[in-house]
Amino acid sequence: MRSSLARLFFSALSFLATLVPSYAAPFEQKFTLDEVMSAPFVSDMTAAPAGARVAWIANDQGRRNIWVAQLGSHASAQQITHYTEDDGQEISGLAWSADGEWLAYTRGGDAEWPERPAPNPALLTAGVKQEMWLVSVSGKDANGGTARDIGEGHGGTISPRGDVIAYLLHGQIWTVNLKDAGSLKDAAAKPRQLLQARGEEQDLRWSPDGSALAFVSARDDHSFVGVYRFATKTLEYLAPGTYSDSNPVWSPDSKHVAFVRQPLESVYALRWLREAEPWSICVADAQNGAGREVWRAERGAGSIFHETNGASQLWWSADGKIVFPWERGGWTHLYAVPSNGSEATLLTPGEFEVDRVAFSVDRKRIVYSANQHGSDPLDEDRKHLWSVTPEGGAPQALTHGDGIETESAIASDGTVALVRMDARVPARAAVLEASGPRDLAPQTIPTDFPAAKLVVPQQVIFSAADGMRIHGQLFLPADGNAKHPAVVFFHGGSRRQMLLGWNPMGYYSNAYAMNQYLASRGYVVLSINYRSGIGYGLNFRQALHFGPGGASEYNDVIGAGLYLRSRTDVDGKRIGAWGGSYGGYLTALALARGSDLFVAGVDLHGVHDWSLEVDLWKPSSEFTWDRAAASKLAWDSSPMASLDTWRSPVLLIQGDDDRNVLFAQTVRLANALRARGVPVEEHVFPDEIHDFLLHRDWLTAYRLGADFFDRKLGEPAK
């Protein structure tokens, strides 16, 4: 039965039928989707080696630009690039010059898959390229210009001597002489291929003295760390073997390189197993390539290398220690080991996960973000900044409270800059002061951004169908006196964690905005951190039988639906589901297996048939692998295997240049559902990729999703 208030409200909606569609939202919206997605999204905070400067990227409704702040007592920020269109051209790979006067960056292409053809979702008829650029921090170079196009490529890094920029193009290393960086017009400024080498070269790292360049050479079934010396024009591979070597880091004196060494089995096992043949850290002589293992992980938990977020995974301290992440004990923490070998020292004890790590220019201080929780259990679903030294000692909390702080960068004067967000305002650049974080560019938040109208999500912990404890964030409409329709949101990844506020990843910052928008329209929204996600330890992330190995996350899907149905403020006959990527998979699984509980769904670029992806997780030796059995289990774990019980209508959305999930996943599902008479709606974005590059495409997708839910859930089910 509807409550009296709900009856009166729906009567009022009928009266207003001439003003709104007949499938009107359950409640009057308080803000528009454009408004809640209007604030810039800030990312890639990075500090200059000198000059007490930091830089970041701001995506302002698809207009991507670089900002720089001069820190100090009167820290100020300025925009130093001036791109004005929502044209789908990403900016990535910020790299400072040693003097803090120049920034190299990549514009265009796909930052996740840089060697693939540049995507063009804006359908620019002249075509697009991925190019390296150089920009003066002052805003003008010697000839009065701003940003200079170096040429095609990505992943640029400027020599500590300031004379050369090295970058990647078609898997090879290229350079440009920057002695005349003001004009880039002389012959020396012409791009040149540095060397011709086998493999796909990656991860360029200059020696501190600028005399050599370390890099990773990826081969089909192994990888080396190489060092190119400019004076002698010679190449040396460091202790080459049958391993996957990666993540090089130079010693302060430029004489040695440390790197991560993983057995091939560990690389393949990374996504699916809890333990494998242990990984190790090696140190090699940069001159002759001779190296040795200085530390090896123990068997069991932590035997598989697990990265933190960020470009670097090893850090060489001023006093000769190598700092690294290790999952010993089932939690990702920082450890330190002397570079000549010994036992590793735990730097960050506790049951929490270290996320992003920043090292100071003098190599004496570490700042990291983590969901480290003590007196406030809600911090398990937030991130704050902490500081520790390579020598150890108790970590010191730098931030606290109900905000979220991540992506720290330590400026050359020791000042900490960061990216911060909270429940009401999305990611923005800030500087850490004695009183707490202070925003560096508050003027960039639009005046009509509806911060005050957003709800503060509540932490909820519910039981999955098999009893596992699952964390979620609950968004409640302002009107709590009626039974509301509800939706469950599933993030993608699955190695992701939604937080009690805006998210530090752009994709999920957009999803948070959508959840707020749905709540403003009268939906109870439950965003869940299902098993196989991050933030809750190794065993949660490496959940048994997850995904194509048995779809154990479906227990969490059902638990979320039953939790909502049990609430007195939810109409149990009007529960929907939505999500993207892995979340699209779980949305489709919810509809395929649980149409009696989930009556409608919005599935963005989801995986629907794991058997199409089975070769992505095959082991190193196919002779020990039963492909037929793996394919059968993958199929049985897929929504496509349960189409006969799928009755609920679905909206399918995907870009047809998706590089993460085969577009065929949506094509096959749509055709199979239509053949069975299941209501299917769809929207395809031509030439768009997985993480939509155009802001207007996000708006279109979310408008279609909200409209779909309004039509399918806006009135009580008959």
Mean pLDDT of 617-622: 56
Predicted local confidence at residue 7, as pLDDT: 33
pLDDT confidence bin for 489, thresholds 50/70/90: very high
Would the pLDDT of 27 be above 90? no
Mean pLDDT of 28-54: 93
Q: If you ran DSSP here, which 8-state letter would residue 674 be given? A: H
pLDDT confidence bin for 54, thresholds 50/70/90: very high
Predicted local confidence at residue 169, as pLDDT: 96
Would the pLDDT of 268 be above 90? no
The distance of Cα 259 from the centroid of its chain, to the nearest Å, equals 24
Alpha helices in 553-662 (DSSP H): 554-566, 582-593, 627-636
pLDDT confidence bin for 262, thresholds 50/70/90: very high
CB 444 within 8 A of CB 60: yes
Q: What is the mean pLDDT of the chain?
A: 91
Sheet containing strand 63-70, edge to edge, reads 41-47, 53-60, 63-70, 76-79
Predicted local confidence at residue 272, as pLDDT: 79
Q: Which residue has the higher pLDDT, 26 or 107?
A: 107
Give tens-digit pLDDT for 113-129: 999 999 999 999 999 99
Predicted local confidence at residue 267, as pLDDT: 60
**Would residue 690 be called left, alpha or beta, if left means φ above 0 and alpha means ψ between -120 and 50 degrees?**
alpha
Which CATH architecture best describes the domain 455-611+623-713? 3-Layer(aba) Sandwich (3.40)
CB 317 within 8 A of CB 390: yes
Give the least confident one: 20-34, 68-82, 187-201, 294-308: 20-34
Give tens-digit pLDDT for 323-334: 999 999 999 999
Mean pLDDT of 556-580: 97
Mean pLDDT of 227-251: 97
Give tens-digit pLDDT for 460-481: 999 999 999 999 999 999 876 7
For residue 333, the cross-strand partners are 326
- Three-class SS of residue 601? strand
Q: Which residue has the higher pLDDT, 272 or 136?
A: 136
Predicted local confidence at residue 42, as pLDDT: 98
Candidate ranges 13-17, 113-117, 673-677; pick with highest mean pLDDT? 673-677
Would the pLDDT of 412 be above 60? yes
For residue 104, the cross-strand partners are 95, 134
pLDDT confidence bin for 3, thresholds 50/70/90: very low
CA dist 666 → 488, 586, 603 (Å): 21, 14, 9
Would the pLDDT of 74 be above 80? no
Predicted local confidence at residue 617, as pLDDT: 58
Mean pLDDT of 696-711: 98
C-alpha torsion sign, points 95, 97, 103, 105: negative
pLDDT confidence bin for 76, thresholds 50/70/90: confident
Tokens representing 465 are 């169908």
Q: Look-up: residue for tokens 């400019």?
A: 230
Which candidate, 281, 219, 227, 297, places its Cα nearest to that of 255? 227
pLDDT confidence bin for 567, thresholds 50/70/90: very high
Q: If you ran DSSP here, which 8-state letter would residue 302 be given? A: T
